[in-house]
Amino acid sequence: MKETKEMLIDCPVCNEIKTAESQIKTEKIPYFGEVMETSILCKVCGYKHVDIIALDHKDPIRYEIEISKDKLSNRVVRSQSATVSIPELGIKVEPGSKSEGYISNIEGVLNRFKDGVKQALILFQDDEAQTNAKNTLKKLDKLLKGDLKADLIIEDPFGQSNISGLEVKKRPLTKKELSKLKSNFTIIDSNKE
């Protein structure tokens, strides 16, 4: 079941009138619930933003799966509020103002990490950063080829993310884990004056 609405809006970046195509899709995803995917694409300045908003609210959750070649096509839903990491490779993506939600698969997540590491190669020119980034890229390629094993972990304080597959370990986040996670949202601590 899919529903799509499209309209032209003024671009929030270059301010041109009605040059940005805005699309809102709602879709029901098995094991995940109803999600809303919003995208904006400006044909003048190229501004692009995609976001996934889960319409069903859930409890804080942690997913873990060992990446292997036969699991590359397992579906991954990453909401804006989720932290995605591969601890063996020392890489982690935390929620931030620019973080996007997406629906992809494990292969797609690895490719997103590759893009991030490639950006780091351009931004950080010192030898140590270059060596680290190149090593990480090699390991990501090995994971994609099935020559290396590592765990993919998604921690989501709003329980809106998901990894599909029978081998996925799924459990609630502990309070301690929750307190360490970054979130896009301001948490008001009622114990403080």
Would you count residue 9 as binding Zn ion (CB under 5 A)?
A: no
Shortest distance in whole angstroms from residue 12 CB to Zn ion:
8
Q: How many CB atoms lie within 10 A of CB 166?
A: 7
> x/- string (CB under 5 A) for Zn ion, residues 77-116?
----------------------------------------
Q: Which is nearer to Zn ion, 10 or 147 (CB)?
A: 10
| Smaller CB separation from Zn ion, 11 or 150 | 11
Place of tokens 């109803």: 34
Q: Does the footprint of Zn ion cover residue 7 (CB under 5 A)?
A: no
Closest distance to Zn ion from the beta carbon of 100 (Å): 18
Contact positions with Zn ion (CB under 5 A) in 14-33:
14
Residue with tokens 């370990």: 169
Give whichever of 100 and 151 is closer to Zn ion, judged by the CB atom. Answer: 100
40-79 binders of Zn ion (CB under 5 A): 42, 44-45, 47
12 or 90, CB closer to Zn ion? 12
Alpha-carbon torsion, ordered 132, 133, 135, 139, to 10 deg = 130
d(CA 73, CA 81): 23
Buried b (16+ CB within 10 A) or exposed e, 70-94: ebbebbbbbbbbbbbbbeebebebe
**Considering beta carbons, is residue 9 or 44 the nearer one to Zn ion?**
44
- The reply on whether position 11 binds Zn ion by CB under 5 A is yes
- Residue pair 140/120 in contact (Cβ under 8 Å)? The answer is no
Angle between helices 127-145 and 106-123 (to 10 degrees): 160
Cβ-count burial 167-190 (b if 16+ within 10 Å, e if not): ebeeeebeeeeeeebebeeeeeee
Total number of residues binding Zn ion (CB under 5 A)? 7
Return the range that interacts with Zn ion (CB under 5 A); candidates 6-14, 23-31, 82-90, 166-174.
6-14
Residues that bind Zn ion (CB under 5 A): 11, 13-14, 42, 44-45, 47
